[in-house]
Structure 1
Amino acid sequence: MLTVGLLGAGRIGAVHAAAIAAHPRSRLAAVSDAVAASAETLAARHGAAVRATEDIVADPAIDAVLIATPTDTHADLIEAATAAGKAVLCEKPVDLSLERARACLRAADATGRPVMMGFNRRFDASFRALRAALDAGEIGTPEMLAVTSFDPAPPPLDYVRHSGGLFRDMAIHDFDMARFLLGGMPESVWATGSALVDPAIAEAAGDVDTAVATLRYADGRLAVVRNSRRAAYGYDQRVEVLGSAGLLEVGNMRETTLRRSTEAGVTGAKPTYFFLERYMPAYRAEWDAFVGVALDGAPVPVGLEDGVAALAVAEAATRSLATGLPVRLADV
């Protein structure tokens, strides 16, 4: 049985707490959060204790920690937890600073303890099936990837101010998906964006809410990532891969599978509204994989180095947005 401490009791912390508590091989022992009421509510829901973060990290009876705290705490907590001998699952990104993230990778590697990054989309059944089809050569050589990732509505402005920007906060999932499906790192990134959803995102936070990033690989392959903070019809998550012998597609999960076909036309349900509905099975599969890592010594399926790599692409995209020019990953 894996004894777990949860650091962070916000929205994503609650998602992880449910996965930990439901798994037959893990037990949620303790919860910490800067907001005491949040920790108390979540701990009571799952029969866990409320404890200080430093006490959870130092407790030898706790085997693993899940880090779901604000981004600027991730690197410090990864380092402290691995130094204390714990296995770690950390939400993305590693840090807002690429230099700090790389230092964290070196420090964690030196302890020999496993660190898994929370890129939950890698555990989605449809995306895994797409990856398996690519590996099987079903469409020949992959040549172009298109990722669409539109949120139904923008987050609060205060969140945007502290997020590190759309590329580090939102598109980082899609940059990791490009690595998951195409393998390796792009040679260069060109990005552009605008604040079309809410002008305050540009005026008060200096960010964009609508963006396109083009990743070019050394062998000429291309990946196009489209992001928007607003899709009035729901959470839009689609992936296409064009290859030398065909096309693979993953479409949206919908509220229902009912489709109406009449002389007036063909209609169906909207996509599920947000990531909680769309990716709950992926979060459970992610946690199951982590339990295998921590208890059985299974290989880490998405490690801290993957988090650093995705952050490097996000950094390149952020620099490209600022300059209007392509940015080589070798220069990041």
Structure 2
Amino acid sequence: MKKINVAVAGLGRIGKIHLKNLCRNFSDVQVVAVMDLLDESKTIADQFNIPVFVKDFDQLLAVPELDAVVICSPTDTHADYVVKAANAGKQIFCEKPLDLSLDRVKQVLETVKGAGVKLMLGFNRRFDPEFKKIRQLVLDDAVGDVQIVKITSRDPGPPPVSYVKVSGGMFLDMTIHDFDMARYISGKAVKEVYAKGAVMVDPEIGKVGDVDTAIITLTFEDGSMAVIDNCRKAVYGYDQRLEVFGSKGMAQAENNFPNNHKLYTKDGISGDLPLNFFLERYDASYNQEMAEFIDALVSGGEVPVDGNDGLLSIAIGLAAKKSMVENRPVTLTEIL
């Protein structure tokens, strides 16, 4: 069987993860080219024996017999790169968000639709084994009618302020994963968003107009709810927990740990802290999401996370920002 020729654009943290997985874990994939603006990234390409290294996206798309491109470059390049890839007839995997402007996202999705290519968005948490199990329990009616979804997502430390300035803010950078998870786990559409935010970790984040701590309440179309709590700094590590409460019971996904030992002494009970950050916590999910993207290319089926999922998550994020600023619930119809 002919291998799928894939190129990777952007060799930052996420790009390196995808490149490693593509090269090591998929026998039906050939990574034929990589693109990055930094000269030192060629060393990474050489480590994986990638034949073509370029600094320009147009040059990447010009690589002969290229089937698909994995876009891991900075957020402000995503929309332009997706449009170029779609117009070139390439299948596309793109890290979130597609863009920070809803109108721009809509334009990009129209281009993708017109080109007839696949576009998958990188909401990797859907592919975490623990979270997939919770979703399956919901589908199996194990918890009954879903009434409350609770998501805790706290980072071990805040990002640099230079990153915060261009990230789109906490809701479009960090909480966007949780907005997608709330929709995915519940299987429901969000109707209304109410957000409260504060600066409790780093005053410099507040100076650039963002928050580092927040609680967001989502109301679904049937009146059920989700509660999301975020903080940019949890001193004990990367805190990622999920709970679904329903008419028949409750399902929970707890934090992952390096090991599950506990030490019991007269002074108390101790054990390891949670896995330190997303690279460790979601290692398996990054590989699984790429596996499902490749499977969609091979089978011709639908991708599991499409452009509309990205659009709705951005819309919820913008509604959260508006809610926080105006101190009121915001319906999604006001945004979309």
Q: TM-score, normalised by structure 1?
A: 0.97
Equivalent residue letter for 1:222: M
Q: How many residues align?
A: 330
Cα distance in 1 between the residues matched to 2:311 and 2:184: 14
Structure 1 position 270 matched with structure 2 position 273: yes
Equivalent residue letter for 2:257: R
* 1:263 CA drift (Å): 4.0
SS across alignment from 1:162: helix
SS across alignment from 1:312: helix
Cα distance in 2 between the residues matched to 1:41 and 1:280: 23
Shift >4 Å, 4+ stretches: none
Structure 1 position 19 matched with structure 2 position 47: no
Cα distance in 2 between the residues matched to 1:135 and 1:183: 9
Cα distance in 2 between the residues matched to 1:164 and 1:150: 18
1:88-107 mapped onto 2 (5 Å cutoff): 88-107=92-111
Cα distance in 1 between the residues matched to 2:288 and 2:231: 27
Equivalent residue letter for 1:115: L
Match of 2:311 in 1: 308
Match of 2:5 in 1: 3
* 1:184 CA drift (Å): 3.2
Cα distance in 2 between the residues matched to 1:123 and 1:131: 10
> 2:33, 2:63 within 8 Å by CA — same for their partners in 1?
no
Q: What 5-or-longer segments of structure 1 have no aligned partner?
A: none
Cα distance in 1 between the residues matched to 2:115 and 2:100: 23
Cα distance in 1 between the residues matched to 2:119 and 2:234: 34
**Out of 68, 75, 90, which is 1:71 matched to?**
75
**Out of 111, 118, 143, which is 1:114 matched to?**
118
1:92-171 mapped onto 2 (5 Å cutoff): 92-171=96-175
Equivalent residue letter for 1:136: D
SS across alignment from 2:323: helix
Equivalent residue letter for 1:139: V
Q: Deviations over 1:281-314 (max 9, x none)?
A: 1111111111111122122111111111111111
Q: Deviations over 1:43-62 (max 9, x none)?
A: 11211121231111233411
Cα distance in 2 between the residues matched to 1:185 and 1:35: 41
* 1:136 CA drift (Å): 0.5
* 1:79 CA drift (Å): 1.2
Tell me which moved more, 262-271 or 43-52: 262-271
SS across alignment from 1:260: strand
Equivalent residue letter for 1:57: L
**Out of 254, 258, 262, which is 1:255 matched to?**
258
Q: TM-score, normalised by structure 2?
A: 0.96
Match of 2:60 in 1: 56
SS across alignment from 1:187: strand
Match of 1:44 in 2: 46
**Out of 171, 185, 207, which is 2:210 matched to?**
207
* 1:169 CA drift (Å): 0.3
What percentage of aligned pairs have identical amino acids? Answer: 41
Cα distance in 1 between the residues matched to 2:193 and 2:8: 36
